[in-house]
Chain A
Amino acid sequence: MSRLRDVSVDVAVIGGGPAGIAAATRGSEAGKRVLVLDEAPHLGGQIWRHLSRESLPAKARTWLERFDRSGAEGLTETSVVDLQDSRVLAVRWNEEVRVRAPHVIIATGARELLLPFPGWTLPNVMGVGGLQALVKSGASVVGKRVALAGAGPLVLPVAAALARAGARLVVVADRTSASRVLRFAASLAGRPGELWEGVRYRAQFAGTRYRWGTRVISAAGESRVQEATFTAGGRTWTEPVDLLGAAAGLVPNTELARLAGCEVRGGVVMVDALQQSSRAGVWCAGEPAGVGGVDLALLEGEIAGLDAAGQPVPQSLQKARDAGRAHARRLDLAFGLDAVELPPPETIVCRCEDVPCSAFDKSWTMRQAKLYTRAGMGPCQGRVCGAALHAMFGWAPDSVRAPLVPTPVASLISTLESSDATT
């Protein structure tokens, strides 16, 4: 009773965010057969997550329409489990999919860095982007008291979007210190557009102050969050909230690239000028190659898509990409994580296995933490606590193996069996 769907394409793109959409569009326009796989119900990734396309910004609509016209195909609600030797193995609700593709483009995006604090496990405490993703998926925040405590460029647009969606923003906080931000603003001289974008967002929640150098240090509530405590410059205060979005930045999703054997350094997939990874036949575009935002992801996707399709890549694209990368580095300097303070000992760090901070010894490795405490052994496979423990103790992630996501045994058998099978 094999439910395996067998597909052969020229280019397989993993991840249907801006990088994946741009890569697939360019590859398909060049005459190649292209398939995009994504876990979400719609293509678009996190930034372009939507219920209906009308709600998307013009640039997103333009790209998605161009993708449709290009003839590239998309397979949504599909989780990639394994990638080996030009074979992408994925599972869906009721079938397994084997995609044979000589060219694979990894565009798996980024996730949020979620740092533990007392109460962060309470229902209605989410990531900053997490809160926005849920709103984009149809969750209502009308009249809800919302606090945001984030870091960097994501906070502003999320605050604006929540305000538009009817939330009452009680706190909008950014852990980045004002002095670092001023240095960054000075470096923006050549890109005034970005400043104006910030001003536009700012106008949408004008009643709420944007607080630099401010962190959330605890959340409390009976069976859901009811209040959150913030700290800034030695002052500590508590606000009643219905929803709290808290994060400390973004972490590239490099698991698939690492499984494929691509070189990863400093948490980032190493790529050359044409977005090729160290692994022949595998490209990487967007956040896994370094967090840089939607415009950079689109450029990298275009380059990867063209190159994977055997097309020449215009110098102009590469130049724009290089400028985007340089800007991303400046952003990282401004908003990158400062030293992280450890939460109180009883704070849960691994949410899957409920492992408290007191269980860890800073002299360990991630592997010791896993084997001695079970941290990272749950269904999320350490994607949340692994990044937190890296920030807290500097531990490098443990090795990655298939399946990349928990998979029913029967599906796993079917996918693994097909991994080495010949035509």
Chain B
Amino acid sequence: MTAATADAVVVGAGIVGAAVAEALAKDGARVTIVDSGAAALGATAVGMGHLVAMDDSPAQLALTSYSLDLWKSLASELPPSVEYDPAGTLWVAEDEMQLEGVEEKIRAYAGRGMPLQWLDGKRVVELEPNLRSGLAGGLLAPRDAILYPPGAARALLDRALARGAQLREHTEVLALDANEVTTTGGTLRAGVIVNAAGTGAVRLTPDLPIVPRKGHLVITDRVPGFCRHQIVEMGYLKSAHRMTAESAAFNVQPRATGQVLIGSSRELVGWDASVNRQLVAAMLSRAQWFMPALAKLQAIRIWTGFRPATQDKLPLIGRWERTPGLWIAAGHEGLGITTSLGTAGLLADLIAGRTPAIDPAPFAPGRRVAA
């Protein structure tokens, strides 16, 4: 049987794979996207859809702010199903301790063209009246936004398909070799192969330093206007980024439907998808402390999902030296929705031999990561 050929094969039809496929197709490549299931059903489907600039490291801030610029310029072309809402993020501080380093943060964000506006405790509550009074203050990040991740991934896929890409769903990839992808639907040969399989990436490229990290979310019934910004506690970054056994932080999002999405938790428990009742209780208690009026809202659903995490909190983007033709776009953990576009831009530049918009070195898949 002769193998089918393409210029590029993208493994994984989540939001990262979809963005990469579109970027490569835009560069003129004949792209085939392969997914063991269907589009946007993995980590893409279980996240919040918060487009956010984060500064755990300078590289993270570079990638997230680059990505936010790309989302902003794409926004007007996105269909309504993406539910893109430039709501901004309101970072809130419970006490003076959480405000430590705020000036530095404002300067760092400004250096990437990301305005951050300081608000005192009174102004924070004026902006979001359902927050508790007496908070120490907050930062408004007006460039951040909200979207519906499965809608966004499917819109990006549609854009790739419109540029001639092909999507093969329900096709499991069995092996990634030099310029060759073996699937349950036959073999594909390609000059460029991109492993964008999210938490599944490590199954195909076993040396990737990716572990599944579980998160819980809770969604309420519709209460339009309950809050207007994504509201996150300043301690979130520490909570989300310390690779401890489990943590929870206050993080709520107004959905386009008027529902309130309540997060967020992080847990390293392998592939156990069950609901950790105690952790959800802690997460909701934290949210209720910040927003007492949440107490009366009806929680409709709890769900869990796995994010592909790396030890240094940076995704793996670039060439995989050990396998000719293989490139990696995986390990985005909770920032995959935000950084999907930046990842695609970076990878497309590297593949085409252009100088990328940001320094690719911190994302090199073969980098040494301290355990």
Contact = CB atoms under 8 A, between A and B. Distances in A.
Contacts of A371: 40-41, 45, 150
17 contacts: A84-B277, A364-B38, A368-B38, A371-B150, A403-B300, A406-B298, A406-B299, A408-B296, A408-B297, A408-B298, A409-B262, A409-B299, A410-B288, A412-B218, A412-B280, A412-B299, A416-B278
Which range holds the interface residue count of chain B?
A: 20 to 34
B278 A379 contact: no
Given A374-B257, A402-B275, A406-B300, 11 more contacts: A84-B277, A367-B41, A372-B40, A403-B301, A406-B299, A408-B299, A409-B284, A409-B294, A409-B296, A409-B298, A419-B278
A-B pairs with lowest CB-CB distance, top 8: A410-B295, A416-B281, A406-B298, A419-B277, A417-B281, A416-B277, A371-B150, A413-B284
Interface string A392-423: 00000000011100111110110011011000
A46 interface: no
Nearest to B46: A371
B298 A407 contact: yes
A409 B296 CA distance: 6
B192 to A, nearest CB: 28
A82 B41 CA distance: 26
Which range holds the interface residue count of chain A?
A: 20 to 34
A119 interface: no
B116 to A, nearest CB: 30
B271 interface: no
A412 B278 CA distance: 11
Interface string A353-384: 00000000000110110011010011101000
Contacts of B102: none
Contacts of B304: 401
Interface string B123-134: 000000000000
Given A84-B277, A372-B150, A377-B301, A406 B221 contact: yes
A403 B41 CA distance: 22
A410 B296 contact: yes
Interface string B169-192: 000000000000000000000000
B41 A368 contact: yes
A407 B297 CA distance: 8
B300 A381 contact: yes
A378 B41 CA distance: 19
A364 B37 CA distance: 10
Contacts of A406: 221, 298-300
B237 interface: no
A367 B221 CA distance: 20
A408 B257 CA distance: 18
